[in-house]
Amino acid sequence: MDAWSRCLERLEAELPVEDVHTWLRPLQASPRDGALVLYAPNAFVVEHVRERYFDRIGELVAHFAGPCTVSLEVGSLPRRPAAPAAPAASAPSAGAPQRQGAASEPFDGNLDSHYTFDNFVEGRSNQLGRAAAMQAALKPGDRGHNPLLLYGGTGLGKTHLMFAAGNLMRSNVPGTRVMYLRSDQFFSAMMRALQEKNMDAFKRQFQRVDALLIDDIQFFAGKDRTQEEFFHTFNALFDSRQQIILTCDRYPREVEGLEPRLKSRLAWGLSVAIEPPDFETRAQIVLSKAAERGARIPEEVAFLLAKKMRSNVRDLEGALNTLTARANFTGKTITTDFAQETLRDLLRAQQHAVSITNIQKTVADYYGLQVKDLLSKRRTRSLARPRQVAMALTKELTEHSLPEIGDAFAGRDHTTVLHACRQIRKLSETDGKLREDWDKLIRKLSE
Ligand SMILES: Nc1ncnc2c1ncn2[C@@H]1O[C@H](COP(=O)(O)OP(=O)(O)OP(=O)(O)O)[C@@H](O)[C@H]1O
Look at residue 37 and give its three-state secondary structure: strand
Distances (CA, A) of 143 to 158, 223, 268, 434: 21, 28, 8, 31
| Per-residue pLDDT, 352 | 58
Using the mean position of ligand 1's atoms as its centre, give its distance from the Cα of residue 421 in Å. 29
Q: Which residue has the higher pLDDT, 345 or 81?
A: 345
Confidence class of residue 405 from pLDDT cuts 50, 70 and 90?
very high
**CA nearest ligand 1 atom 5, residue:** 120
Strand pairing partners for 243? 211
| Per-residue pLDDT, 393 | 92
Cβ–ligand 1 contact at 309 (below 6 Å):
no
Q: What is the largest CA-CA distance in the chain?
A: 75
Summarised one tens digit per residue, pLDDT across range 105-153 is 344 447 888 999 999 999 988 999 999 999 999 999 998 899 999 998 8
* pTM of the complete model beyond 0.90: no
Cβ–ligand 1 contact at 137 (below 6 Å):
no
Confidence class of residue 278 from pLDDT cuts 50, 70 and 90?
confident
Q: Are strands 28-32 and 35-40 parallel, antiparallel or unpaired?
A: antiparallel
- Cis status of the peptide bond prior to 147, with omega within 30 of 0: yes
Cβ–ligand 1 contact at 412 (below 6 Å):
no
In order of their start, the domains of the chain are: 3-74 (3.30.300.180), 106-273 (3.40.50.300), 281-350 (1.10.8.60), 356-446 (1.10.1750.10)
Give strand ranges (E) for 265-307.
270-273
Confidence class of residue 100 from pLDDT cuts 50, 70 and 90?
very low
311-335: average pLDDT: 88
Summarised one tens digit per residue, pLDDT across range 183-194 is 888 888 888 888
Cβ–ligand 1 contact at 126 (below 6 Å):
yes
Residue 96 has pLDDT above 70, yes or no: no
Using the mean position of ligand 1's atoms as its centre, give its distance from the Cα of residue 357 in Å. 30
Distances (CA, A) of 369 to 225, 366, 374, 383, 412: 43, 8, 8, 8, 19
Residue 83 has pLDDT above 90, yes or no: no
Using the mean position of ligand 1's atoms as its centre, give its distance from the Cα of residue 312 in Å. 8
Residue 199 has pLDDT above 90, yes or no: no
| Per-residue pLDDT, 86 | 37
Residue 97 has pLDDT above 60, yes or no: no
Cβ–ligand 1 contact at 321 (below 6 Å):
no
Q: Which residue has the higher pLDDT, 93 or 446?
A: 446
Q: Which residue has the higher pLDDT, 244 or 68?
A: 244
Mutate to test the pocket of ligand 1, among 121, 127, 159, 289 (most ligand atoms within 8 A of CB): 159
Look at residue 248 and give its three-state secondary structure: strand
CB-based contact 244:238 (threshold 8 Å):
yes
Task: Kindly report each contact of residues 117-124 with a partner whose C-beta sits within 8 Å and lies 24 or more positions away, as own/partner.
Answer: 117/164, 117/168, 119/288, 119/292, 120/157, 120/160, 120/161, 120/164, 121/277, 121/281, 121/284, 121/285, 121/288, 122/281, 123/277, 123/278, 123/280, 123/281, 123/284, 124/275, 124/278, 124/281
Summarised one tens digit per residue, pLDDT across range 354-403 is 789 999 999 999 999 999 999 998 889 899 999 999 999 998 888 788 89
Confidence class of residue 43 from pLDDT cuts 50, 70 and 90?
low
158 is annotated as contributing to ligand binding = yes
Mutate to test the pocket of ligand 1, among 314, 317, 443 (most ligand atoms within 8 A of CB): 314
Question: Cβ atoms within 10 A of the Cβ of 267, count?
Answer: 14
